[in-house]
Structure 1
Amino acid sequence: MSTYVVVGAGLAGAATAWQLARRGHEVTVLERSTPANDQGSSHGSARIFRYGYPDAFYTRLVVDSRAEWDELERLAGERLISPTGSLDFGAERAPAVLAAVFEKVGVDHELLTAAEAAARWPRFSFGEGDAGVLWHPAAGVIDAEGAVLAMLRLARADGARVETGWPVASVERAGAGHRVVSSDGRTEEAEKVIVTAGGWLPDLLGDLALPGEFLAAFPPLQVMQENAYHFPYRDAEEPWPTFIHKNPTMLVYGLPGGRDAVLPDGRAGQKVAEYNGGRPIRSAAAQSGGIDPANRERIIAYVRQTLPGVVPEPYAETTCLFTNTPTEDFVIDGVDGITVASPCSGHGAKFAPLLGRIIAEAASGERAAPERFRVAHHLSAAGLPTE
């Protein structure tokens, strides 16, 4: 068995630590703040779990991920995904294409006309035209913070150590292994290092003792400070489904807000946001936490037109971070005992326990990550030579 340092205690880091520890490895997690803190991408109680991808690769991955979530919930003794079902609509969202993928993979679904969907969900306005509305009942809402804490609890039970207030500044070679150095000079040594630093990765990547050719091939990462808003329901009828709507000008998603913003009567509203509708920043270190007023007005106008079942006045708002690759594919790759993982682009949360296994297996040499997540694939997708 090997010794590992895992950098970052968000969803990816917690999942990786759990999967390594349960395999008998010695694991230390180094978290710059606290697990699932609000300066990263894994905080709060509301992330969408959905199967809707136009690419069967990811839909199959969701099917595999659901099995891992089931096991995690069983071992943790708590529910981490609340079932809601999900709606996909808008011609640019191509519901019929998604339905064809569901048919191929075997995901339960219904492809409805806009009129049929409006009769079933009158709190939505599905617009004119009839590209169809896709419903799949197995979707739900992930408790991201709850999942992080559950996986770390299980990792600790298998011997893992979790250090908080430990901002990593660099990784150095140390004999046959590695030395991880904090910004205040503390050190941890391990045979292997796994970096799951989310939006902090752009600042850290060049200080990881990685070969120049690996760094040159690594896909560019764009960190976005995103905006999200919570709108009160007009009635107490629940649950609301999650949804994704793509129109000619924007892609909007929504979901029940969970604990993230609770009204005085104890109910939560609908969380609504525009995908990649925020502003690009250098890294997580540059985030301001300030809402973009133009984005707020754009979402309010959208809600007024499309979601008649909510009051078009947000009662809470927040920012979060997306770390995007150009293709929106994840990165899981490494060299010489250092593995870098960026399960990102705003859609990684639903895969967390499965990606933890994939990262753990790749780092240990048990099984390589899917080719799609390798640096060479990203280089090829960018149209550049891979050799």
Structure 2
Amino acid sequence: MSQSTPAPSAEYIVIGAGLTGAAAAWKLAQRGHEVALLERTVPAAADASSHGSARIFRYAYPDSFYTDLVCKARTAWDELELASGQQLISPHGSVDYGALRNPRHLAAVLESAGVEHELLSAADARARFAGIAFDTEVLWHPGAGVIDAERSVLAMVAQAKAHGARIETNWPVASIEPAGSGYQVNSADGRSYVGSRIVVAAGGWLPGLLGNLPLPAGFAGSVPTMDVYQENAYHFPYLDQDPEARLAWPTYIHKDPAFRSYGLPGGRDAGFRGQKVAEYMGGRRMDSAAAQDGSIDPANRERVIDYVKRYLPGLDPTPYAETTCIFTSTPTEDFIMDETQGITIMSPCSGHGAKFGPLLGDLAADLATGTGTVPELFRLSSHAKTLA
């Protein structure tokens, strides 16, 4: 009588090979644990949150908690760049401005953290960055830059693999169920994987997966509602295509009562020819990333074009490339990191989580192994208190 082949197993199973999952697999494997990384399609998938070459790395936050966390993350990025032999953050600096951004307060936060910065008048900022029509005081900090998200994910996956982790691609997780002293992870096509402990880093797919996880009712009920957006981003060409002029463009965050925008040099995503510009949370809201269709919202395109005409005179206001991406957020915009009964939930929220990439791996490994902890702000109990 034939016997069925037993399901493969690992001590730790990490679900999702975006920035968070790849970092978790790397750090767990680096600490000597047996790890399997299960990815729905491929690492840094084009329809997920960690694809492409352009994410902002910045220190400026209105809360010193996050600025201090960025300082720790920079050390973790240095480790990854050294291990991979690649530059993963390109220096461009960053400008923050607008009536709702409060550059003066941001400057005080950076001052307390010891981060290099300048507070500029609108006129002085326009003289330095002629391509941007500043309308308020401006915070400039040169330590900011642009993260190549895809290469960062692949670098962390390579490090995880070098430390013995198994990488399973085209492995869409449908559910997790108890199995002995651990868990069985089931795929959508009937395969299974058995693990002692699970780390769920499914990004915009997490809201749709939560109901299929064996979580205690109290724990599951305390997970805050996550908004998933199909964001639209556009690449506008620089009017001055001189290489030095292109390199002089900073990343920016502009928060005005009428429009909230962010932009950054587009990198290899769009041939280094222009600035990637988007409206913050301007895309279509969905229950899960599974509902995305990849279509650009024409009304959003027009709003962003109008914004470029008004505030970014150094750009040609006709986009030469456009794309959609997944953006996930909690009501407070704080991350979710918590653990119960051997299952760790990680949702660092793509709106501002990318810059913490490698550090998230350390936090995930601490939480999943029980050898450390995470900031209380990220625990579900803190979310419940904030929203009560």
Q: TM-score, normalised by structure 1?
A: 0.96
Residue of structure 2 equivalent to 1:382: 387
Q: Per-residue displacement from partner, 1:333-375 (whole Å, max 9, x unpaired)?
A: 0200000100005000000100111011101001121100000
Amino acid at match of 1:163: E
With over 3 angstroms needed to count, the CA separation of the structure-2 counterparts of 1:374 and 1:16, relative to structure 1, is same
Residue of structure 2 equivalent to 1:249: 258
Residue of structure 1 equivalent to 2:307: 302
Residue of structure 2 equivalent to 1:147: 152
Q: Is the 8 A contact 1:46 1:143 kept in 2?
A: yes
Residue of structure 1 equivalent to 2:45: 37
SS in structure 2 at match of 1:92: coil
Q: Over aligned residue pairs, what C-alpha RMSD do you find? A: 0.8
Q: Is the 8 A contact 2:49 2:350 kept in 1?
A: no
CA distance in 1, matches of 2:179, 2:99: 55
Q: 2:316 aligns with which of 304, 307, 311?
A: 311
Q: 1:27 aligns with which of 35, 59, 63?
A: 35
Match status 1:278 vs 2:283? yes
Amino acid at match of 1:259: R
Residue of structure 2 equivalent to 1:185: 190
Q: 2:25 aligns with which of 17, 42, 54?
A: 17
Q: TM-score, normalised by structure 2?
A: 0.96
Residue of structure 2 equivalent to 1:64: 72
SS in structure 1 at match of 2:177: strand
Residue of structure 2 equivalent to 1:97: 105
CA distance in 1, matches of 2:374, 2:94: 29
Residue of structure 2 equivalent to 1:79: 87
CA distance in 1, matches of 2:368, 2:273: 40
Amino acid at match of 1:62: V
Q: Is the 8 A contact 1:227 1:278 kept in 2?
A: yes
CA distance in 2, matches of 1:269, 1:322: 22
Q: Per-residue displacement from partner, 1:280-320 (whole Å, max 9, x unpaired)?
A: 01111100101111110000000001111110000000000
Residue of structure 1 equivalent to 2:139: 134
Amino acid at match of 2:279: E
The Cα of 1:92 is off from its aligned counterpart by 1.0
Q: Per-residue displacement from partner, 1:146-182 (whole Å, max 9, x unpaired)?
A: 0000000011000000000100011111111111010
The Cα of 1:208 is off from its aligned counterpart by 1.1
The Cα of 1:238 is off from its aligned counterpart by 2.4
Match status 1:258 vs 2:267? yes
Match status 1:119 vs 2:127? yes
CA distance in 2, matches of 1:111, 1:299: 27
CA distance in 1, matches of 2:20, 2:259: 28
Residue of structure 2 equivalent to 1:213: 218
5+ long unaligned stretches in structure 2: 1-9
| Percent of aligned pairs sharing the same letter | 61
Residue of structure 2 equivalent to 1:159: 164
CA distance in 1, matches of 2:128, 2:253: 17
Amino acid at match of 1:55: D
Residue of structure 2 equivalent to 1:348: 353
SS in structure 2 at match of 1:162: strand
The count of corresponding residues between Structure 1 and Structure 2 is 375
Q: Per-residue displacement from partner, 1:202-226 (whole Å, max 9, x unpaired)?
A: 1101111011110111111110110
CA distance in 2, matches of 1:288, 1:190: 33
SS in structure 1 at match of 2:100: helix
Amino acid at match of 1:151: M
